[in-house]
Amino acid sequence: MFVAIAALLSIGAQAGVAAEGTAGSSQATISDPAPALGKVDKGALPVSLSPDQRTALIKKASAATADTARRLGLGAKEKLVVRDVVKDADGTTHTRYERTYDGLPVLGGDLVVDATGAGAAKGITPAVRTHLGTVRTEATVRPATAEKQALGAATAKGAEQADTDRAPRKVVWLAKGTPVLAYETVVGGLQDDGTPNQLHVITDASTGKQLYSWQGIENGTGNTEYSGTVTLGTQLSGSTYTLTDTGRGNHKTYNLAGRTSGTGTLYSGSDDVWGNGQPTNSETAAADAHYGAALTWDYYKNVQGRTGIRGDGVGAYSRVHYGNQYVNAFWDDSCFCMTYGDGFGNTSPLTSIDVAAHEMSHGVTSATAGLNYSGESGGLNEATSDIFASAVEFYANNPSDPGDYLIGEKIDINGDGTPLRYQDKPSRDGISPDSWSSGLGGLDVHYSSGPANHFFYLLSEGSGAKDVNGVHYDSPTADGLPVTGIGRDKAALIWFKALTTKFTSTTNYAAARSGTLAVAGELYGTSSAEYKSVADAWAAIKVGSRPGGGDPGTGTTFESNTRVTIPDRGTGTSSITVSGISGNAPSDLAVSVDIVHTYRGDLVIDLVAPNGATARLKDADGFDSGQDVQETYTVDGSSVAANGTWKLRVQDTAAQDTGYINGWKLTF
């Protein structure tokens, strides 16, 4: 598992008012609007699991890991470890696994297995489709060499007081598609801005070459103080109140008092009034952080059905007043906590609603998809926190901080009143791109998040000029075509379900498109307006194309629309007779297939020419859990005569799933 420390923005102290609580049972004052989900397949909606129910599902899945590994075709040295289970209303389970090889963690070996309520396989989403095979586990390079290399990498990134948090551990590095025996070294100390360092460095155990690195502390910037008078969850013990939210997993808020390590001191007092709305009062930032954590807990539980960051009912904790003039906030997996600095001059604590939601959402991402905090997956990680920061802010319905699509707008980190990020048009910050490009993965993750933020805004509100909660937006599209929004609640549901059931550690933008489209199909159907808007919103940021494009090829077309059954573990064959074409087939013969099947990874597809020669169009892939094959393949047919009977042969290579050839055509 990739350990993550995430940060991005801040949650602020309340302006000019005191925060009050009631001993033991008080709750943050929030609205609880019913999500506007429209006509949705309720069976595909996630159910809210109690911690005990989730534990029971994990225990059941853990008892069957050996059988699951065999079904997936894993090698004898590969084992699965259950990390999380999500359940839908129709009984479908989505079980997330980590993988080991000969006892070594396989980084990039995570996968999600979908199964019906009866236990039948429905699909697999692997982080990497490569099969491990045999991996040599004897290292040539010594651990000390890997440690030295990692320390050098951290120093080159500006780390201060760099040291190793633990000895390098041997792993199998699979995240880039080729299994390599490697060392993972975690370098501590401080980053150049004072943020704790948790740089993970992967070193080839045979050559000593650095293969990859990512920052475990996922960070950003912020400022605060704008939530007004709120009710906090606190606890009374004897005559002393503490900032302990017993209604939300015992979430606690601590005072670091300028320190940069340790848990700090739990806020306590003889009354249940916290802060005075001014940053000079230490309790004000604590009240903001405590309130933001409560809102985020409630959003995930009441809207998305997840009780706590890990889904186990356990609350994280918050630490305020970190360091001296620290202009940042972060999430850290290792302490399972959020940490907030006091900003410039120690007068602007980074504790606003959207900052707290952003940081806690890093924890949710870590507990589910585990998106690597580097490259395109790192941008999606950051965007996920921005997406739910906006969702929580709208959900809170706080008149002092209305919901918007501006990230960190209360922080004023630049001193000119501008937000950190703009979801309607990310390029307004001067750095973040509005659309995907091949170089996107090379950007800092806070900027490569731009296109995904833009996607979410377009999917929620649509393109063009509009006003929401008094804020004016004017969102463009890369292809100049409009996008029709489906509403923020639907958009957030689609993203959350994709995050928890489709995304893995290595998901990039293309895979995020596939995952969200799959979820939109499950919830609303593939012919729905919602499905089309998801595709259109991705196309509007240059990821994939819009539905309804023309067929490839401009020559003579022959086709068959006769449905042919593909038996379970059997073969279905469909024929097309070609006539009137002189000479041989072209070198770019287009073969368009439309196959309906519940598990396309089972299928092997061949084109059989009139003379019996075959061309392989598709191999079986046990990790490809998608449904159906709607694809156009190009075949060099120049060595065979065009006229005669051509056949499409489709073999089902595994049990349980079935389908049929819906139609196919040849374009000469």
Residues serving a catalytic function are 359, 446
Give residues with Cβ within 8 angstroms of 129, minimum separation 6.
177, 621, 623, 624
What letter represents residue 448's amino acid?
Answer: S
The residues pairing with 665 across neighbouring beta strands, listed in sequence order, are 559, 592
Q: What is the DSSP letter of 347?
A: -
Give residues with Cβ within 8 angstroms of 261, minimum separation 6.
none
Query: Residue 475 is encoded by which pair of tokens?
Result: 């969102």
Query: Residue 45 is encoded by which pair of tokens?
Result: 């909606």
Owner of token pair 């009441």: 302
The residues pairing with 20 across neighbouring beta strands, listed in sequence order, are 231, 273
Cα gap 280→13, rounded to integer Å:
10
List phi, psi (to 5°) of 524: -120, -10
Cα gap 634→473, rounded to integer Å:
44
Give residues with Cβ within 8 angstroms of 26, minimum separation 6.
20, 231, 232, 233, 234, 272
Cα gap 186→184, rounded to integer Å:
7
Least Cα distance to 12 among 418, 426, 357 occurs for 357
CA torsion through residues 143, 145, 147, 150, sign: negative
Cα gap 11→611, rounded to integer Å:
71
Query: Residue 377 is encoded by which pair of tokens?
Result: 């997956």
For the chain, give the longest Cα–Cα distance. Answer: 97
Is residue 606 within 8 Å of 615, Cβ to Cβ? Answer: yes
- Half-sphere exposure of residue 216, counting CA atoms within 13 Å on the CB side? 25
List phi, psi (to 5°) of 199: -80, 120
Burial grade of 505 (CB within 10 A; 0-12, 13-18, 19 or more)? buried
The residues pairing with 184 across neighbouring beta strands, listed in sequence order, are 169, 202
Q: Are strands 337-341 and 317-322 parallel, antiparallel or unpaired?
A: parallel
Burial grade of 131 (CB within 10 A; 0-12, 13-18, 19 or more)? middle
List phi, psi (to 5°) of 534: -60, -50
Is residue 308 within 8 Å of 249, Cβ to Cβ? Answer: yes
Angle between helices 353-367 and 375-396 (to 10 degrees): 130
- Half-sphere exposure of residue 640, counting CA atoms within 13 Å on the CB side? 21
Is residue 185 within 8 Å of 164, Cβ to Cβ? Answer: yes
